Homo-oligomer: A and B are copies of this chain.
Amino acid sequence: MSEIRENFTTYIQNLQNKICSALENVDGKQTFREDPWERDGGGGGRTRVIEKGDVFEKGGVNISTVHGELPDPIKNHFNVKEGWFWAGGLSLVIHPLSPMVPTVHANFRYFELYEDENMQSRTDGWFGGGADLTPYYLWDDDAKHFHSVLKDACDKHGEDLYPAFKKQCDEYFYNSHRGEARGVGGLFFDYLRPDDKRSLHQWQQFTEDAGDAFIEAYLPIVKRRMDEPFDENQKYWQEIRRGRYVEFNLIHDRGTLFGLKTNGRIESIFMSLPPTVRWDYDFQPAAGSREEAVLNILKNPKEWV
C-alpha cells in the first residue's frame, strides 16, 4: 500500500476522533453514534452522527476509504476505458440547534488512480477539500475568525494559497438559481497534484494542516454564540435558510451527486441535510432587519481578512 494512502488513512481516523470528542465536549448532552459500513466492491467507512443535542441538532463526521474499479461516470469524466481507484476522506456537516450558531461543512480527501486492479501502478493522485461557514445571523468577527485561522494554515505553505482557495470556495458554494452564496465561504481546493512549486507530499502536508485547523476555526465561534438568546421567529428564519442549504446540496453539490450516481451509501451522504427545514412561498426578510443584512452579504461575497 502506498505510503501516502497509509498515512492519510491514519490521519483521517485520528482527525475524526479529535473532532467528535471536541464537539461532544461542547454539546454536553449527546454523543456521536457510530455506524461502520462496508462497500460492495471494496472498502468502507465509519459514519458518526450526533442528533438532538443541546448545541448540535444534527451533525455527521464521516470517514471512508473505498477502492475498486472506477465507476462508469468517473471513467467517462477522465475519458478512460478501464481503471481502478482508491479514495479516502473525512467529511463533516454540523447543524447547530440555535440559529445564532453557524452551520459548518468541511472535507479533506485523497484520490489515487491505477492501471491495475492490485493498485500497484499509480497513474495519478491528488488532494482536495476545504471548509466553509453558513451563518443565519452574522457577527463579522465570526467570519473573520474562521477565515483568519484557515488563512494561517494556508500561509504556512505559501501566501498564494489562501486567496486562490477562498475565491474557489465563493465560486463553488453558490446557489446560482438564487443568485446568492450558501454562506460566508472559507476554503475550497481540488486536484492538488505535484507541480513546479509543491510535491504531492507537500500537498498532503497542506491538506492535513487545513484539517487540523478545523477545530480552532469553528469551535470558538460555537462557544461564543451558543448562549445567545433566540426566539421562534429567528428559529423560523434558520429553517428557511436551511432550505437553501438543501437546495445547494441536492442541485449543485458535485460530491452529493457523485455519491448518488456511484451508488454511495445514501444515509452517509444525506447526513449533510438539516434536521428541520421550511419552504415558504416567496419568503422575504423585513427591510433593515438582521435577516436582510445576512442576505445582502450572501449576495455580495466579501473579503474577511
Residue of B nearest to A247 (CB): B250
Q: What residues on B are CB-neighbors of A239 within 8 Å?
A: 276
Q: What residues on B are CB-neighbors of A271 within 8 Å?
A: 281
Residue A211 is within 8 A (CB to CB) of chain B in the complex = no
Count A interface residues, CB 8 Å: 29
Q: What residues on B are CB-neighbors of A276 within 8 Å?
A: 239, 276-278
Q: Which one of A178, A280, A281 has the greatest number of beta carbons of chain B within 10 Å?
A: A281
Q: What residues on B are CB-neighbors of A132 within 8 Å?
A: none
Number of copies: 2
Q: What residues on B are CB-neighbors of A279 within 8 Å?
A: 58, 270, 273-275, 277
Of B35, B275, B282, which one neighbours A267 at CB under 8 angstroms? B282
Q: What residues on B are CB-neighbors of A274 within 8 Å?
A: 279
Q: Are A281 and B251 within 8 A (Cβ)?
A: no
Interface string of A34-74 (1 = CB under 8 A from B): 01000000000000010100000010100000000000000
Interchain residue pairs with CB less than 8 A apart (9): A51-B281, A177-B260, A239-B276, A246-B250, A251-B251, A271-B281, A275-B278, A276-B277, A276-B278
